[in-house]
Every structure is written in C-alpha cells, then in structure tokens.
Amino acid sequence: MHTLLRFKQEVTDPSNLLSSWFPRLDCCHWTGVKCDNITGRVTHLHLPCHTNQPNLVDIGENDDKSQCLTGELSLTLLELELLSYLNLSNNDFKSIQYISVHSQKCDGMPKGNLSHLCANSTHLLFLDLSYNYDALVPSLQWISRLSSLKYLNLGGIHLHKDIDWLQLATMLPSLVELHLESCQLENIYPYLHYANFTSLQVLNLADNSFISNEFPSWLFNLSSDISHIDLGQNKIHGQLPKTLPNLRSIKSLVLSLNYLKGIIPNWFGQLEQIQELDLSHNYFSGPIPACLGNLSSLIELILESNELNGNLSDNLGQLFNLEILEVSENPLTGIVSERNLFSLTNLKDFSMSSPALSFDFDPKWVPPFQLIGIYLGYLRGKLPAWIFAQSSLKYLYIGHSTVSLEPLDKFWNFATQLQYFSLPNNSINGDISNVLLCSEYVDLSFNNLRGGMPHISSKVVVLILYNNSLSGSISPLLCDKMTDKSNLVFLSLSYNNFSGELTDCWSNLKSLAFISIRHNNLTGNIPHAIGSLFDLRYLYLQGNMLFGEVPFSLKNCKNLRILDLSYNNLYGVIPSWLGQSVKGLQLRSNYFTGNIPTQICQLRSLMTIDFASNKLSGPIPNCLSNITTMLFGYVSTHMIGLILNFPRMIATGGILMLIKGNQLEYPTAMVAIDLSSNNLSGSVPLEMYMLSGLQSLNLSHNQLVGTIPQEIGNMLQLESIDLSRNNFSGEIPESMAALHFLAVLNLSFNKFVGKIPSGTQLGSTNLSYIGNPDLCGLPLSKICPHNEKIHNTEPMGEEHDEVHSWFYMGLGMGFSVGFWGVFGTILFNKRCRHAYFRFVHRMCDHVIKKNIRNLRNC
C-alpha cells in the first residue's frame, strides 16, 4: 500500500483515475489493482490511458492525452515483490527511470537482511510502457533486474541513441516478446555474431533509424545453448550444420521502416516456426530467396518497398498457410500468372507492382481464395477477370496502369461492394455523370474522366477526383438531398473544368473538413454557408475567378488550418478574425488593400504567410516575433492532411508556394513569408530577423528602406531570400555568410554599398546584385578600392617617364649580371656546385626537423 501511495503522490492524475486509492480502503480494490486470492499481495497493475480516438485527426498530431497520467515516472512500483503484470502504456509521462528508495543502501553492501529489497524483481512477467511519446529514458539498466520478464514493450518511447539496448535485452533470458518499434534507435549491431536470447518468439524493431549494409547475423544465432560463436568473415550459403542452434523458435520478425541494405540471407529458410516476416520499406536488394518457400508456417510475408529484383519465385506457391503476400514497389521482372497463386488457398491480401512485371492470367481461371485486399500496379491490357470473382473484396488499389476497365458499367457495379477503392494515374476514360459511388474511400485522380459530377451516397467519406476533365456545376454534389446524413469529410475536385458559382448548399455537408477546388473556372462570391462547416480545417479555392470579400462567417471555423484563396479577384482587407489553429494563410494575387493587420501576430501556430501581389500598403508589423512556430528554429515536418478513423485512412493535402522562382507544391507546411509586389513602406522591423525558423522570405517589389542588420545571420534555416527592387541601403552584413542552407539570394535593384561578403551562398551569380552601382567584389566584375593598385594620378611629365625608363633598364641589367655570376659559378665549378647543394640540403633538414618538433609539441 505504501508503494502504491508513493506512486500516486509522484504522478499527476488529471482525470482522477486514482481517486479510489485511499489507505482506508483495501488496496486490492483500488482501480487497476489486482491481488493474489491466497496471499493478498499485489500481482497486477493495469493503468493504461484509453484515449478516445476522434474521427478526425491532423497528420502528425498524437492522441489527446490531457486526461492521462503524467509527470516523472520513477518505477518504484518494481519494488512490489510479487508484481507480475505492469501496464502503464499510452500515458503522458515525461521521463521514465528506476530510482529505488533502497538503492543507496544496496550499493556496495552485503545483502544480509536487505536481500529482499536488493534482489532482482523476479516475479515481473509483463511490462508495457509503450507510447509515452514524450518520455525521456536516460538509462535502461534497471531492466536487467527483471530476470523473469517475458513481455517487454517500449514502443514509441525515445530511447537515447547511446543506450546499449541489445546487451540489456539479452540479460533477460526468459524474454518471449520484445517490442522496440519507433524508439529512434540507431545501432542494430550488424557485426555482432551472437545474441543470448533463449525463448524469444516476437521481435519488433520497426520504424527506427537502423543503417546496415548487411543483414545482422545475430538475428540468426539467437540461442542460449552456446556460450560463444564467431563466424568471422565466412558467408553462410545453403543449409546450416544441424549442430548450429538457430532462431527456430521465432514466430514474428518485424524490421520494416529502417535503412537496411544488402541481400536477404538464405538462413531465413531455417526459421521453421515463423509466422510473420516484415522487411518492408528498407533497401534490400537481390532476388527474393527461393528458400522462403520452405517456411510452411508463414502467414504474413511483407517485402514491399525495397529494391528486390528478379522473378517471383515459384517456391512461394508452397506457402499454403499464407494470408498476406505484399511484394509491391520492387523492381521485379518476369511474368505473374495463376501458377504463382493457385496453391495459396488462404490468401487474404495480395500486393504486387513493378513496371517490368507482366500479369498473364487465364481469363477463365477461378482462384481458390477470396481476397479482402488487392494492390496492383503497372497493369496493361484488361483487368484480370478473376478479380470480379472476389465477392469478399473490400480494398482495391490499381495505380500507374494503362488497364482498360471496359465495360465500365460492370466495373462500377462491382465497385459498389468495395469499402475502399483507389485508381490513381491510370488514364481511365469515360463519362461518370450517371455513376453512383458508394465506397467510403474513392480516389479517381489523374485519369481522363469526363462529364459532370457523379452521384455519391451518404457512405462516402473521402472523394478524390483531382486532375481529370470533369465539367459543369458542382451543385448536384452540394444540393442533392440524401436520404441519410452525409459522412463526406474529404473533398478534392482540383484541376478540372468545373464552372458556375459555389452555391449556398454547403450546410448539407456539415461533416466536411477538407475542401480543395483549386484551378477550376468557378465564379461568384465565396458563400457565407461555408462558415456553417464548423469542423472545416483545410479550404483551397486557389486559381478560380471568385470575387468579393472573404466572408466573415469563416470566423465560425475554429479549426481552420489552411486558407488558400490565391489567384482570384477577391478584394477588401486581410481578415483579422482568424482562429488560433491557422497554420497557412495564402491570399496571393488578389486585390486586397489596407495594412497588414497586427492580429496575425496572435496566430502563434502560423507557418506560412503569403500576401504577395496585392495592393497592401503601410509598414510591416513589428510583432511578428510573437509567432512562435517561426521564432524557435522550427523546421517544418508537419504533413498536411487528415487521419480518418472510419476505417483508419489517411488523406493528404499540400501547399502551393512560389519559392526559388518556381511554384511548387509542398507536402508539408512551409515556414515562409511572402509579402512581395505590394506597396509596403518603412523599414523592416528588427523582429523580422529574429524568426530563426523561417525557410523563405520574399519582400521584393515594395518601397521598403533601411539596412540589413547583422541579426539576419541568426536565420539559419533560410533557403531563399528576395529583397530586390526596394530602397534598401548600407552594406551587406558579413553575418549572411553563415546562412549555409541559402540557395536563392536576390538583392538586386537597391542602394547597397561596399564589398559583397565572401561565402559560397553569396557569390554564386551577379544577377543577385545588379542594380546596386556602389557594390563591388565577387561575383561582380567591379573591384573594390582596397584591392586596386594605388597609382599617383598627378602628371609627372616626359622627364619623369624617361628617368623611370633608365632606372628599370639598369635594374634589369644588374639582376642579369648578378644572376649569371652566381649561377654560372655553381654550374661550371664542381666544388662550388657541391657546396651549394650541401647547404641547401642542410637547410631543408633543419626546417623539416623543426616542423616535426613543433608537431610533437602540439
């Protein structure tokens, strides 16, 4: 009871999960506590945080853990002598370490009466601390005390790169499952030949930073029966000697999402009991080993997204228990036919794609399996007929293909049974105006579809019709009454030929969170009804012919992350009522007027400000340093898009920015400010140069004045800066040479003076500096005054020139006589020649010895 109460005192419990933990109550009846029926001692402690996964989450955002246990976890709970089960997963602990109240007494002392306190925690069998994402773990030495541990899960915890995780894990001889996925580990010990695991059956090291050019051999030599094994530089081929123990007990090996290279070794064929093998998303090369066909117990074989080549081995057809076969995104060659699949009677998921792979199935073949998911790429000709016989199919992906779906009616009818179907980049033709789409996820992007909007049922959650030839009004989508409540969350209609106005029927689609209708021919005002979409997070209307003011009703969209209204005919003032969630604000190429509102400084999450090519005037606000995401050296890795939890699907967006002279679409939010081509005046506030996380800054084509301060050298993340066509003056600060990521620099057509600082980023082209007549130095041809030879420009007359002529003539004759006098003596007099060279050698020896002594002293 005292140990549990000490744990309660050390942690913060915002949801009062531990409210029943009071001394007056029997601790065996406390929440999460279980005791042995006979001894009454605590054996189980089950306190994971059960966060409610919302239907909608932005990519990169973790679950809301505001109600989870938090604070510093000292693991004093390990002092519970009979504790066998401890689960504190998915909480919000900030650090995890073991600090025993008896540790100081135990160190360096005989056990004596303290043996029960100092001994290993031999009863703990199950330990799960996973997904405490922000926890700092300075050391794992304490796990060596848990000698009976069978299950250890530290997934999602940032383990320090210096932690010798493998050595510590091998000190647990009873370990059956080891989960260290997403721990940011770096060392997989590729040259270690032996690891002392006795009972290991599950090893998950996915999503780390392991880098190795050859497969770690210790994964094969996992046995406690050998005290030492050293295979040296030998390479194992074929069958291993029967006397060599191996990892025959392993059932699950997951090494996906790392940086492992080399061939898949043949010893994988010796993993007799393996059921799951996942090596996906690495850089493995060579053919798929035929020996994998010997793994009769294999249920999941996942090798996708590697560099595997050659033909698909016929031996894989011997895997009669196989349910998941994923080998897509590899440069495989050859022909795939029913010969490769006819024995896989239990197959549920099949994934295969390669540009050099040919699919040649008998049109009359009836497969012996019923698939749930199919992922195929680079198909040619007709869709394999056996796909239409898959009555259990829920997930279908066909991409980068020239496959014909004719007759289209048959395919669209078949698609009504699918929960998820994605057909991107296939050049599919046809009018879909009368097609009914019923799947939760529909992606028909990058095809040649034409006609008007298809009909969609209330089941559709994600609809992607990006980059087709669709035309007409989008009103049928918005205004058609559905029998059931719409579930549409993600709508992408960009790069089509839709026309007409954005009608006022948006209230029928209250669930919308992502709207992208960029680059169409839409006209009219932005309707006020869009403000009724309270969960709207991303609104892209770029590249249309919309006019009018930005509706004030958008203030109701408290969760708005990206607002992109660029390249329209909008006017009025910049909105000052945006919510705190805004990360990107893009209003480029419109007719906005007035000053830049200081309210944008209150948007602390703002990462992109693009107000270029408007009619803004006045000064740049001096409060930009309040935007914390730009201030603290934040380099953007925030993917733009949503995670949808019905089922769990990812739908991504993007952000279009004119940076480095090109309009590029970034998958992440760019940390950038573009105020170019306006009528801004005054000097740039010093606070602007405090934005050390800024990646791109464009203030060109304005009326700005003043100098560039030395503080610009603090903007270490800058990749592009354009201050051209303003009235800046003064010298270019030397600190700009410290901007090592700078790829684009334009200071042209200003009033800068002095020498251009040296630095590879600053001297690449003279176009960066033209129009500044008082600048000098490379890369300009104008030489700075202190590099020029100083000449006396006063006229000295002909007499002075004649004296100088005679002086230089005499100097040359004197040098010639002296040179030949000395050199001739050395050349023709043997004794003089030998003496000269001995002198030279002695001087060289002296200099060399002196330099060696200096090096030794250093």
Q: Is the pLDDT of residue 494 over 70?
A: yes
pLDDT attached to residue 225: 36
pLDDT attached to residue 815: 46
Q: Is the pLDDT of residue 566 over 90?
A: yes
Stronger pLDDT, 135 or 525, i.e. the higher one: 525
Mean pLDDT of the chain: 82
Q: Which of 149, 169, 185 is the last residue of a domain?
A: 185
Residues 141, 46 within the same domain? yes
Q: Which of 368, 394, 420 is the last residue of a domain?
A: 394
Measured CA to CA, the distance from residue 444 to residue 397 in angstroms comes to: 10
Residues 521, 641 within the same domain? no
Mean pLDDT confidence for 212-235? 54
| pLDDT, tens digit, 9 for 90 and up, residues 4-32 | 999 999 999 999 999 999 888 889 999 99
Cβ atoms of 23 and 52 closer than 8 Å: no
Cβ atoms of 514 and 492 closer than 8 Å: yes
Q: Is the peptide bond before 331 cis (omega within 30 degrees of 0)?
A: no
Stronger pLDDT, 74 or 349, i.e. the higher one: 349
Secondary element (H or E) of residue 808:
helix 797-828
Q: Is residue 164 part of a domain?
A: yes
Residue 306 pLDDT grade (very low, low, confident, very high; cuts 50, 70, 90): very high
Residues 330, 455 within the same domain? no
Q: Is the pLDDT of residue 105 over 60?
A: no
pLDDT attached to residue 221: 66
| pLDDT, tens digit, 9 for 90 and up, residues 760-808 | 566 567 788 899 999 988 888 888 886 544 334 344 444 444 444 444 4
Stronger pLDDT, 564 or 845, i.e. the higher one: 564
Q: Is the pLDDT of residue 391 over 50?
A: yes
pLDDT attached to residue 646: 58
Residues 724, 702 within the same domain? yes
Secondary element (H or E) of residue 594:
strand 591-594
Closest listed residue to residue 624, CA positions, set 525, 521, 693: 693
Q: Is the pLDDT of residue 857 over 60?
A: no
β partners of residue 616? 594
Q: Which of 394, 421, 441 is the last residue of a domain?
A: 394
Give me the half-sphere count of Cα atoms (radius 13 Å) on the Cβ side of residue 666: 22
pLDDT attached to residue 778: 83
Mean pLDDT confidence for 255-262? 93
Residues 372, 438 within the same domain? no
Q: Is the pLDDT of residue 113 over 50?
A: no
pLDDT attached to residue 516: 93
Stronger pLDDT, 133 or 811, i.e. the higher one: 133
Give me the half-sphere count of Cα atoms (radius 13 Å) on the Cβ side of residue 580: 4
Number of C-beta neighbours around residue 675 at 10 A: 23
Give me the half-sphere count of Cα atoms (radius 13 Å) on the Cβ side of residue 497: 10
Q: Is the pLDDT of residue 375 over 60?
A: yes
Closest listed residue to residue 544, CA positions, set 509, 503, 516: 516
Measured CA to CA, the distance from residue 567 to residue 569 in angstroms comes to: 7
Measured CA to CA, the distance from residue 745 to residue 751 in angstroms comes to: 16
Mean pLDDT confidence for 127-150? 88
Q: What percent of the chain has pLDDT over 70?
A: 79
Residues 250, 346 within the same domain? yes
Residue 726 pLDDT grade (very low, low, confident, very high; cuts 50, 70, 90): very high
pLDDT attached to residue 592: 97
Q: Is residue 239 part of a domain?
A: no
Kindly list the distances between the CA atom of residue 338 and the CA atoms of 299, 312, 326, 402, 414, in Å, as whole numbers in the listed order.
20, 12, 16, 21, 22
pLDDT attached to residue 167: 87
Stronger pLDDT, 789 or 702, i.e. the higher one: 702
Q: Is residue 287 part of a domain?
A: yes
Residues 546, 450 within the same domain? yes
The tokens describing 790, both together, are 């100083």
pLDDT attached to residue 116: 44
Residues 309, 356 within the same domain? yes
| pLDDT, tens digit, 9 for 90 and up, residues 264-278 | 988 888 888 899 999
Q: Is residue 17 part of a domain?
A: yes
Stronger pLDDT, 285 or 669, i.e. the higher one: 285
Q: Is residue 197 part of a domain?
A: no
Q: Is the pLDDT of residue 619 over 50?
A: yes
pLDDT attached to residue 145: 84
Residues 579, 481 within the same domain? no
Number of domains in the chain: 4
Per-position DSSP letters for 323-364, written without gaps between them: -EEE--SS-B-EEE-GGGTTT-TT--EEEEE-TTEEE---TT
pLDDT attached to residue 199: 85
| pLDDT, tens digit, 9 for 90 and up, residues 309-318 | 999 888 888 8
pLDDT attached to residue 763: 58
Stronger pLDDT, 286 or 793, i.e. the higher one: 286
Q: Is residue 506 part of a domain?
A: yes
Q: What percent of the chain has pLDDT over 90?
A: 49
pLDDT attached to residue 59: 65
Domain of residue 424: give its range.
Answer: 405-560
Q: Is residue 813 part of a domain?
A: no
pLDDT attached to residue 802: 46
Residues 158, 249 within the same domain? no
pLDDT attached to residue 58: 67
Contacts of 164 (CB under 8 A, 6+ apart): none
User: In a 3-state reduction of DSSP, which class is residue 741?
Assistant: coil
Measured CA to CA, the distance from residue 225 to residue 187 in angstroms comes to: 25
Measured CA to CA, the distance from residue 107 to residue 103 in angstroms comes to: 6
Give me the half-sphere count of Cα atoms (radius 13 Å) on the Cβ side of residue 98: 17
Residues written for the chain:
858
Residues 285, 151 within the same domain? no
pLDDT attached to residue 449: 93
Q: Is residue 705 part of a domain?
A: yes
Give me the half-sphere count of Cα atoms (radius 13 Å) on the Cβ side of residue 91: 25
| Most confident range, picked from 118-127, 373-382, 666-675 | 373-382
> 3-class secondary structure for 194-247?
CECCCCCCEEECCCCCCEECCCCHHHCCECCCCCCCCCCCCCCCCCCCCCCCCC
Residues 552, 566 within the same domain? no
CATH no. for residue 88? 3.80.10.10
Q: What is the Cα 140 distance to its own chain's centre? A: 27
The answer to which of 99-103, 253-257, 310-314 has the lowest mean pLDDT is 99-103
Residue type, 482: M
Q: Is the pLDDT of residue 644 over 80?
A: no
Q: Is the pLDDT of residue 663 over 80?
A: no
pLDDT attached to residue 550: 95
Q: What is the Cα 823 distance to its own chain's centre? A: 71
